[in-house]
Every structure is written in C-alpha cells, then in structure tokens.
Amino acid sequence: MTDAVTIRDLFYDYPDGRSALAGVDLRVAAGETMGIVGPNGAGKTTLLLHLNGILTGRGVINICGMRMEKRNLKAIRRTVGLVFQDPDDQLFSATVFDDVAFGPLNMDLAPDEVAYRAREALRQVQMSGYEQNSPHHLSFGERKRAAIATILSMDPEILVLDEPTSNLDPRQRRNLIGLLHGITVTKIIASHDLGMIAELCGRTALLNGGRIIAVGETAAILGDRELMEANGLETPPGLLLRCQS
C-alpha cells in the first residue's frame, strides 16, 4: 500500500529556540484515518502545520510521493487540506460564502462549480443560510464549522484536522463525526476528544515532547491506561472499558 504521508526524522524549533518536534517518524497509508493525541504542548499542531509546508523543519516529508520542497508546494497544497485549530486563522473574507468559495475559485473551476461546492460544503456542516453573514459575527462553534467548510469545498485528497470538534455542541459534534466518517479520503486528526478519535481513527499516534511515543491500533493506545497516564492523558472510564474489551 502506498503511503499518503511519510515523515522521517522531523525536527522543528520555533524561532525563539523552543524545540517543538524532536525527531518524528510517522507513516500514514492512503485511505486510513490516523489520530494524533498528546497533552497540551506535545507538538500536535506544529506537526500538522508541516503537512502543507506552513512550517518547514529538518527532516523528510513525502506527500503522495511528492517530496516536501518548494517546487512541489503548490501541488502539495492542492492535495492536503488543513483545518486550523483556530478558525480565525482560516476565515478572512467579508462573507462566509466568499471564504468557502475561496479555495475552489483558486482551483480555476467554473463559477457555477465554485458556487455549487461552496453551498454543498456549507450544507455538510449545517451552515446553509449563513452565506452572506460576516464570519466575525458568528459564534465560535459556527466559525469552526465554517472553517471546516472552507477545506471541504476543495475536496482534498488528504484531510488534516486540528481539534475539529472543539467548541461544537453535542449535536454538531455528532454531525461532524458522521460527516467525517462518510468522507473516505486519507484523514489525520489531532484531538483531545478521545471518543471522536476512537470512533473515526483506525490507528492513533501518541505524541509527547515532540516525539512519537507510541503508534498502533486506536483501541490499543487509548486502552493502555498506564501509557496514557504516563503522557498526561486519561481515557474516560467508559471508553477505556470499550477499548479493552
């Protein structure tokens, strides 16, 4: 099976000198959904920001056979759709529609295809009717869903999501899990929402201190109480039992 993503020996220090990734190795197969868990400051967001070249560390990254380097950046950014942890990093237009249409517009699609994709993505996150609203006047959860729509509208081959369920109410969280379940592309999802990780991710990597501590079947990782606790995490009792059964 071809890898959708291969990361080898990735190191990254922020400009202030803080080491955020300290030798990450990870392979994600085409079509799989990989969870990334780890305590605050583990390096999850830093790692995801490397997958479409927003950050550039030392090491090797391959995306669908393309080496992460300047000449491949445009093609890689068309392949990897990254939903940021903070929706305010994703929304910058005057209207929700313009934000969600921005990606398809830049893919040189016909205007009616652009409009169709934007409307369809908003429908998927249950944001139909908000097309003409200003993103700045939405609630945080609504902004989160609009930010997810800006990526869904581009129909990326690899979907990378940083805390997609944070601040969603229970019904919207459930809706998003169902939606992601139905999207069969390669997905990489970083989250503290372990229930969502357990539902969606076949394998999970545990990151701490900028290193992959463990990677394996999600139930094996989340069901390993000692491993989780040693890394500042805790699988809720009901979920722990399900992972261990």
Ligand X SMILES: Nc1ncnc2c1ncn2[C@@H]1O[C@H](COP(=O)(O)OP(=O)(O)OP(=O)(O)O)[C@@H](O)[C@H]1O
CA 13 to chain centre: 21
Write the CA distances from 217 to 34, 209, 222, integer angstroms.
Answer: 9, 21, 9
Q: Name which of 43 and 156 has its Cβ closer to Mg ion.
A: 43
179 membership: H or E segment, kind and range: helix 170-182
Size of the site for Mg ion (CB under 5 A): 3
Q: Name which of 22 and 107 has its Cβ closer to ligand X.
A: 22
Extract the tokens encoding 101: 């249409």
Q: Name which of 41 and 141 has its Cβ closer to Mg ion.
A: 41
Q: How far is the CB of 163 from ligand X (least distance, A)?
A: 7
Give CA–CA dist 127/106, Å, rounded.
22
Extract the tokens encoding 43: 């390096």
Q: How far is the CB of 165 from ligand X (least distance, A)?
A: 13
CA 105 to chain centre: 22
DSSP 177: H
Q: How far is the CB of 242 from ligand X (least distance, A)?
A: 23
Of residues 74-93, those binding Mg ion (CB under 5 A)? 85
- Which of the choices ligand X, Mg ion, none does residue 14 contact, using the CB cut-off of 5 to 8 A by kind? ligand X
Give CA–CA dist 188/201, Å, rounded.
8
74's CB contacts (< 8 A; 6+ apart) are: none
167 binds Mg ion (CB under 5 A): no
Q: What type of residue is 191? A: S
Extract the tokens encoding 114: 């652009």
Q: Name which of 44 and 173 has its Cβ closer to ligand X.
A: 44
Q: Name which of 85 and 186 has its Cβ closer to ligand X.
A: 85
140 membership: H or E segment, kind and range: helix 140-152
- Under 8 Å between Cβ of 164 and 176: yes
Q: How far is the CB of 107 from Mg ion (least distance, A)?
A: 28
Q: How far is the CB of 190 from Mg ion (least distance, A)?
A: 6
Q: Name which of 38 and 164 has its Cβ closer to ligand X.
A: 38
Among 45, 56, 166, 167, interactor with Mg ion by CB under 5 A = 45
Contact residues: ligand X, CB under 6 A: 14, 16, 18, 20, 38, 40-46, 85
Q: How far is the CB of 16 from ligand X (least distance, A)?
A: 5
Interface residues toward Mg ion, by CB under 5 A: 44-45, 85
